[in-house]
């Protein structure tokens, strides 16, 4: 199945009243779910090729912008910054009733899910690219995030 066909299917399901769609042909399996309510939706892992992932989730030792309330404050941060790979809504847990994926002070492993960013009704898992300890969570649950916005500081 070609990428264009997959994109057409995604668009058709998005525009329809369907909440779930499954397709299988040969060795290709495609499953789409619409998120109608955050508490009903499960996370969908983001699968990307390594070169794209390396370019998207830049991790750097730099300055992070933190927003406490309405005022913006810039401060130097020690550690690695995990940035949002896409625009969407940031969630710390898989559902409203579930515990957060990680908290400040938690040790994380490479590949561990840190949070979810909902984009176009799809839940995209944000995974850690390295091991360390969460020293700061720079975004509140339910906040809108931009591409490249710092989310976590990990030492």
- According to the 3-state scheme, what is the secondary structure of the chain? CCHHHHHHHHHHHHHCCCCEEEEEECCEEEEEECCCCHHHCCCECCCCCHHHHHHHCCCCCCEEEECCCCCCEEEECCCEEEECCCCEEEECCCCCCCCCCCCCCCEECCCCEEEEEEECCEEEEEECCCCEEEEEECCCCCCEECCCCEEEEEC
Return all residues near 149 (Cβ < 8 A) that are at least 6 apart: 65, 83, 84, 139
Tell which wins on pLDDT, 56 or 107: 107
Tell which wins on pLDDT, 79 or 25: 79
Percent of the chain with pLDDT over 70: 70
Domains of the chain in sequence order = 1-34 (no CATH), 38-154 (2.40.50.100)
Average pLDDT on 93-113 reads 91
Rounded Cα–Cα distance for residues 44 and 139 (Å): 21
Q: Is the pLDDT of residue 19 over 60?
A: yes
Tell which wins on pLDDT, 125 or 9: 125
pLDDT of the residue at 50: 46
Place of tokens 């508490």: 39
Place of tokens 């998207």: 56
Token pair of 104 as six digits: 């400040």
Closest CA to 138 of 94, 102, 95: 102
Tell which wins on pLDDT, 57 or 36: 36
Q: Is the pLDDT of residue 86 over 80?
A: yes
The structure's pTM equals 0.52
Q: Which has the minimum average pLDDT: 29-38, 75-84, 85-94, 138-147? A: 29-38
């Amino acid at each position: 199945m070609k990428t264009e066909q997959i994109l057409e299917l995604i668009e058709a399901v998005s525009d329809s009243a369907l909440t779930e769609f499954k397709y299988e042909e040969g060795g290709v399996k495609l499953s789409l779910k619409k998120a109608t309510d955050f508490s009903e939706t499960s996370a969908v892992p983001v699968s990307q090729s390594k070169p794209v992932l390396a370019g998207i989730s830049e991790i750097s030792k730099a300055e992070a912008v933190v927003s406490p309330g309405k005022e913006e404050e810039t401060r130097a941060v020690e550690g690695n910054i995990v940035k949002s790979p896409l625009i969407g809504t940031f969630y710390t847990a898989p559902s409203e009733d579930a515990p957060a994926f990680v908290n400040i002070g938690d040790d994380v492993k490479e590949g561990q899910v840190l949070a979810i960013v909902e984009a176009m009704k799809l839940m995209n898992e944000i995974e850690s690219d390295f091991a360390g300890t969460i020293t700061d969570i720079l975004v509140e649950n339910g906040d809108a995030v931009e591409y490249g916005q710092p989310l976590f500081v990990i030492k």
